[in-house]
Structure 1
Amino acid sequence: MRRPFAIAIVAALLLGVLTACVPGSGSSAGSIGLLLPDKKTARYETFDRPVFEQRVAELGDYDVLYANADQDAAKQQQQAESMLTAGVDVLVLDPVDAKAAVTIVNAANAESVPVIAYDRLIAGGELAYYVSFDNRRVGQLQATALVDALEERGTPDGGILMVNGSPTDSNAAHFHEGAMSVIAHSGLRVLAQYETPDWSPDKAQAWVAGQISQFGDDIAGVYAANDGTASGAVAALRAANVSPFPIVTGQDAELTALQRIVSGDQYMTVYKALKPQATRAAEVAVDLLNGRTVTGELDVDGTPATLLDPVAVTVDDILDTVVADGFWSISDICTPEYEAACRAAGIL
């Protein structure tokens, strides 16, 4: 049993970046550390964190210590050390760097604190559970949509740019692997590829701008690994007036991405049911905290796991996916700026 006030004070003194969420009063039934990797990807603060905290609160009087690493692996290491010093019972870790995070897992193992790998699989250490999506399938969905759209446009052998994810994100390699399993047999020409540091939209924009200078209107499509890099690619393409406007992919079903899809700047995104993911992680964390045995639907590298199914979303699928699930509402998407486009797409 730990007192939430004491936990928050220890964490604040050690690092000054942790947020203690106290669902109850008096002594809590235990504590869970939630470590997320960045704020540039909108999903983490908008969905993952609040859904996780809400589900933990529903399950009992537990404390959640939260920290966001802002894409800094060393900072995440410090945050984890602070949580372990504060006495957390379970760590839920979405690593900035899948390889560097092994140090965090080993430190937790030494303290008999179970670690749940959240969204990204950590490259070593003894993990208690893994919750994510079928990430190779994500890449396959993106590439299939890109290939089909270019075939429909009449440019099945067009040139494409590949704006891949961060080299420190283990999922990025899986996205790319899945995408290439489709692109390699499609007839498309890969003009150039880029691994986007920190998933930075700005860096993606700068790189795509440079490729436009080289390839110009030969760019028929852009494989963008997520919606953030897609936003950078679209900004560069619009600034250069590339015509016809290339087919652009994405991932995460961010609100701004859906608005780009409605307006025609982005062709598709991949919807990942983040609420079930965060909910499952919270439930497993509470089970582990209470010493209960956890089992997964499958085994990934010796770790029990839950891998959820991703879904491709184009303008024709918005109502049946993100809106139907309550992920975003029509009013969220169809603001006055996008009202006419929404009506044209049959969303309003």
Structure 2
Amino acid sequence: MLTIRKNLKFFVCAISVFTNLFFCSIAVAAEKIGIAFPTQNQERWYKEGFHLSNLLKKEGYDVELYFGGDNDADLQVRQVGRMINSGCKVLIISAIDGDSFSEVLKEAKKKHIPVISYDHLIMNTDAAEYYVTFDNYAVGLAQGHFIEKKLNLQNTSENKYIELFTGSLDDNNTNFFWKGAMSVLNPYIQNGTLIVKSGEKSIDKCATQGWDREIAMKRMESLINSQGYLPGGSKGSRIDAVLSPNDSIGNGIIRAFENAGFTEKNIPVITGQDGELEAVKNIHKGLLGMTIFKDANILCDRVIRMTNQLIKHQDVEINDIETYNNGKILEKTFMCEVTVVDKSNYKKVFVDSGLIDEKNLD
């Protein structure tokens, strides 16, 4: 009888300990955060997606990370729906198509799930209140000023020749990049200093669907052939600059020029953005004029801070509520600063900081 009582007491204690451990584990269960990024096929998004996910995990969150295939907007919408249904407490979305989320995010709003637009603005919904980005107008402005300086447009009496590229029309950032760059370049186009031989000067004509480098390369090859651009060409066959909004498009443009026989000695001034390894290599080789470095650490750190504030129901720190109207609301925005990188400082920004091993530039 004594043995039975001892065993019964032990069994009851074991049940009690197990129950306490079970309920304690529920009490400290990690909140789930959902991340939806455009594609794993571009260096920036692949690296940034896993970087942000790892930082959130270090903060103690459970993380669901999805990439939208090869910039598949419909797939991304389905992924967001999946995260809403799986119990995510905050959604971080870098939209492929900013206009595609109005329906799916109604469910997020119904469930009181805050949504942060990550660098690509989600349009036409009041469910995505928060936006973390870089100053996108300033990006275009910097690209325009770089071309202005390199071609000495303020002081030259000589005609200069340029072709214009911009990003994907389903990405709201494209509008800001274009407006910033053209605020500098358009006065020179209007007064005849800058000549666009192709006549393709509207945002619609210059857009690159999906920011696709192959599309950019093919368009540039077509322009080279149709306009008769030649390496080291004289007036009429010379091209002095190409406005490119990012590195992926810029790298496609460079390939088109290389295929046409251009080298670092006669390739036009080409702009970029994102600080991708291939772009930094091309700056090192003299093929790309500049890139805009949008430090992922700065952007991700700000998103982490915003996520923590949302989870803890604290006031969310922002620095802009006037610039970005998504068609329904003015976004509560935090704008981060960007860095212009060219031949003069690429080693300091990327090599000296340890971001890139100098051996990888050759």
Q: Indicate the TM-score class for this superposition, using the shorter chain for normalisation.
A: 0.7 to 0.9
1:29 aligns with 2:60: no
- Tell whether the 8 Å contact from 2:317 to 2:334 is kept in structure 1 after alignment: no
Tell me, what secondary structure is at the counterpart of 1:169? coil
Distance 1:146 1:104 in 2: 41
Distance 1:179 1:155 in 2: 21
Q: What is aligned with 1:169?
A: 171
1:201 aligns with 2:209: no
Q: Which letter does structure 2 place at the counterpart of 1:284?
A: M
Check 1:157–1:105 CA distance in 2 against 1; reply closer, same or farther (3 A cut). farther
Distance 1:172 1:157 in 2: 28
The offset of 1:242, in angstroms, is: 3.9
The offset of 1:278, in angstroms, is: 1.1
Superposed CA RMSD in Å reads: 2.2
1:212 aligns with 2:224: yes
Q: 1:307 aligns with which of 313, 335, 339?
A: 335
The offset of 1:101, in angstroms, is: 2.3
Query: How many residues matched?
Result: 308
The offset of 1:28, in angstroms, is: 2.6
The offset of 1:255, in angstroms, is: 0.7
Larger deviation, residues 258-267 vs 107-116: 107-116
Q: 1:160 aligns with which of 159, 162, 168?
A: 162
Q: What is aligned with 2:319?
A: 297
The offset of 1:185, in angstroms, is: 2.0
Tell me, what secondary structure is at the counterpart of 2:58? helix
Unaligned runs of 5+ in 1: 1-24, 339-348
Tell me, what secondary structure is at the counterpart of 1:35? strand
Map of 1:1-348 to 2, 5 A cutoff?
Answer: 28-46=29-47, 48-60=48-60, 62-69=61-68, 70-126=70-126, 127-151=128-152, 157-186=159-188, 187-191=193-197, 192=200, 193-215=205-227, 216-217=229-230, 218-242=238-262, 244-300=266-322, 301=325, 302-326=330-354, 328-329=355-356, 331=357, 333-335=358-360, 338=362
What's the TM-score once normalised by structure 1's chain length?
0.83
The offset of 1:177, in angstroms, is: 0.8
Distance 1:286 1:128 in 2: 16
Q: What is aligned with 2:7?
A: none
The offset of 1:154, in angstroms, is: 6.9
The offset of 1:155, in angstroms, is: 8.7
Distance 1:319 1:263 in 2: 13
Distance 2:29 2:257 in 1: 53
Distance 1:154 1:233 in 2: 26
Q: How many percent of aligned residue pairs carry the same amino acid?
A: 26
- Tell whether the 8 Å contact from 2:36 to 2:80 is kept in structure 1 after alignment: yes
The offset of 1:295, in angstroms, is: 2.8
Distance 1:91 1:155 in 2: 53
Q: Deviations 1:53-92 (Å, cap 9, x if unpaired)?
A: 23222322x1110101131111011001111111111100
Check 1:101–1:325 CA distance in 2 against 1; reply closer, same or farther (3 A cut). farther
Larger of the two Rg values belongs to structure:
2
- Tell whether the 8 Å contact from 2:306 to 2:317 is kept in structure 1 after alignment: no
Tell me, what secondary structure is at the counterpart of 1:76? helix
Larger deviation, residues 228-237 vs 150-159: 150-159
Unaligned runs of 5+ in 2: 1-24, 231-237
- Tell whether the 8 Å contact from 1:89 to 1:113 is kept in structure 2 after alignment: yes
Distance 1:37 1:45 in 2: 9
Distance 2:156 2:261 in 1: 20
Q: Which letter does structure 2 place at the counterpart of 1:306?
A: F
Distance 1:83 1:211 in 2: 43
The offset of 1:149, in angstroms, is: 1.1
Q: Deviations 1:238-290 (Å, cap 9, x if unpaired)?
A: 11124731111110010110000110111110111221101211221232123
Q: Which letter does structure 1 place at the counterpart of 2:79?
A: Q
Tell me, what secondary structure is at the counterpart of 2:142? helix
- Tell whether the 8 Å contact from 1:84 to 1:108 is kept in structure 2 after alignment: yes
